[in-house]
Amino acid sequence: MGDPSNTLPRLNPHIAALPLYNAGMNIAVARRVSGIDDIAALASNENPYGCSPAVKSVLAQLDPSRYADPACVTLRAALGRKLDTAPERIVVGNGSEEMIAAVCRAVLRPFATVVTLVPGFGLHEIESQANGAKVVKVGMTKDLAFDVDAIIQALRKKPAILFLSSPSNPVGPAVDSEALSRIIAAVPKETLLLLDEAYFEFSDETTPDGLKALADADISYVVLRTFSKAYGLAGLRVGYAVTSDERLARAISSAKTPFNVNGAAQLAAVAALQDETWMRQAVTAMKAERDRMAGRVAALGMFAPKSQTNFLFLDIGSDSMSAFDHFLSAGIIVKPWKENGFESFIRVTVGLPSDNDRFLDALARFKGDASAVSVGL
Ligand SMILES: Cc1ncc(COP(=O)(O)O)c(C=O)c1O
């Protein structure tokens, strides 16, 4: 038998060196590891209420034998009407994560620099590195607010892309109108602003709508939104990019695979847009639960920045992996944070009230155990 390493092709060094994406643990794996059947999946910011019933009925119309429309014409027209934007400026992706990859592929040249935030959403860094770019990370303030001055400072170096997730994953806050205007005004013509609004629907009423804030701005931008969170379609993979210019949209389209959004996803997204009342009810319920959880977390004396998303980022005061094990042993999946300097944080998704209660009880036990250890009991 030959040596299998002899058959390894020469890999693209940018790809071979990529860090792994820190995906939440899968429910089947959690069942196997914990031996518990009833898992509370609170790691991936999904919608615990599922999706609109209109989505389920429209899926019966699917003809799996046909290729889906590669241009997503019906969905882009519906999005154009909703957002008051020309469909030619919209590109639909296999999740908004595919749009992050396609934007990087369309825009980045070898040795380009991009700016992202820390803590931040892993794919902003990973997709940039995959395209050979150097990633500069701007920290948040000590109390985990956006450091607008530091972002503006980083823009002076004219990076190819500024990635800004607002509301922030994993931290939770959103930039306010004044901060967003200052950032937009500081974006040089060489820089593309990628405003990732995956959690837009969960934000406060006073938080600016990025698309409106950018409408008259004379800069290149992409605003990302998704059907995975508020609309409850994470499993179907559909998100979209709204661009500042049709030519940018065409370049991003060329950088994706032609039949990237499958037929079920296209039908489902159109049906979901026709039933926004359902989405708004689910979001209202999740926001109320988020605020209830935040109150209990604060009462336990733990720090979690005020969230405008469907999750909380909390400092559990000890190693996030030991907390992950503690929650898993109670049948609860949370996301242990691993970025440098944030290894004592976990991110927990707002689930159904009963799952949130399980989490809060397990959190109180974790806190009790930790203080028992610290006083030497
Ligand atoms: C900030 C942010 N952007 C993009 C995505 C990608 O979402 P999707 O590909 O499901 O649309 C996520 C998913 O968690 C996210 O948190």
Name which residue leads in pLDDT, 321 or 23.
321
Other C-beta atoms lying within 10 Å of the C-beta of residue 92: 28
CA–centroid distance, 199 to ligand 1, in Å, is: 8
The answer to which of 81-85, 107-111, 331-335 has the lowest mean pLDDT is 107-111
Atom of ligand 1 nearest to the CA of 239: 11
Q: pLDDT for 102-160, tens place per residue?
A: 999 999 998 999 999 999 999 999 999 999 999 999 999 999 999 999 999 999 999 99
Q: 231 by DSSP, 3-state: which?
A: coil
The pLDDT of 233-243, averaged and rounded, is 98
CA–centroid distance, 198 to ligand 1, in Å, is: 6
Name which residue leads in pLDDT, 4 or 250.
250
CA–centroid distance, 375 to ligand 1, in Å, is: 41
Task: Using alpha carbons, select from 32, 48, 52, 51 the residue that is nearest to residue 40.
Answer: 48
CA–centroid distance, 349 to ligand 1, in Å, is: 13
pLDDT of res. 1: 54
pLDDT of res. 309: 98
- Residue nearest to ligand 1 atom 6, measured at CA: 97
Q: pLDDT for 15-60, tens place per residue?
A: 999 988 888 899 999 999 999 999 999 999 999 999 999 999 999 9
Atom of ligand 1 nearest to the CA of 94: 9
Q: pLDDT for 252-272, tens place per residue?
A: 999 999 999 999 999 999 999
Mutating to test ligand 1, I would choose from 168, 194, 196, 260 the residue with most ligand atoms within 8 A of its C-beta, which is 196
Mutating to test ligand 1, I would choose from 100, 202, 227, 228 the residue with most ligand atoms within 8 A of its C-beta, which is 228
Atom of ligand 1 nearest to the CA of 168: 1
CA–centroid distance, 217 to ligand 1, in Å, is: 25
CA–centroid distance, 367 to ligand 1, in Å, is: 30
Atom of ligand 1 nearest to the CA of 234: 10
CA–centroid distance, 123 to ligand 1, in Å, is: 9
pLDDT of res. 369: 72
| Per-chain mean pLDDT for the chain | 95
Atom of ligand 1 nearest to the CA of 170: 16
CA–centroid distance, 96 to ligand 1, in Å, is: 6
Mutating to test ligand 1, I would choose from 44, 123, 161, 256 the residue with most ligand atoms within 8 A of its C-beta, which is 123
Domain with CATH 3.90.1150.10 in the chain: 11-50+277-372
pLDDT of res. 124: 98
pLDDT of res. 72: 98
Domain with CATH 3.40.640.10 in the chain: 53-275
Give ligand 1 pocket residues (Cβ under 6 A).
Answer: 45, 95-97, 121, 165, 169, 196, 198, 226, 228, 234, 239
Q: pLDDT for 281-306, tens place per residue?
A: 999 999 999 999 999 999 999 999 99
pLDDT of res. 22: 81
The proportion of the chain whose per-residue pLDDT surpasses 90, expressed as a percent, equals 93
The proportion of the chain whose per-residue pLDDT surpasses 70, expressed as a percent, equals 97
Name which residue leads in pLDDT, 376 or 229.
229
Q: For the range 16-20, what are the long-range contacts, defined as Cβ-Cβ under 8 Å and sequence gap of 24 or more? A: 17/129, 18/126, 18/129, 18/130, 19/122, 19/125, 19/126
CA–centroid distance, 70 to ligand 1, in Å, is: 22
Q: Answer whether residue 73 shows pLDDT above 80.
A: yes
Q: In which band, very low, low, confident or very high, does the pLDDT at 377 lie, cut at 50, 70 and 90?
A: very low
CA–centroid distance, 9 to ligand 1, in Å, is: 32
Q: pLDDT for 341-361, tens place per residue?
A: 999 999 999 999 999 999 999
CA–centroid distance, 108 to ligand 1, in Å, is: 20
Atom of ligand 1 nearest to the CA of 44: 14
Kindly report whether the peptide bond that precedes residue 9 is cis, defined as omega within 30 degrees of 0: no
The pLDDT of 277-282, averaged and rounded, is 98
pLDDT of res. 23: 85
Distance CA 73, CA 20 (A): 34
In sign, the C-alpha dihedral spanning 106, 111, 116, 120 is: positive
CATH placement of domain 11-50+277-372: 3.90.1150.10
Residues 6 or more apart in contact with residue 358 via CB below 8 angstroms: 40, 330, 331, 332
Distance CA 256, CA 253 (A): 6
Distance CA 74, CA 277 (A): 21
- Residue nearest to ligand 1 atom 12, measured at CA: 198
The CATH fold of domain 53-275: Aspartate Aminotransferase; domain 2 (3.40.640)
**Across the chain, how many H-helices and E-strands are there?**
14, 12
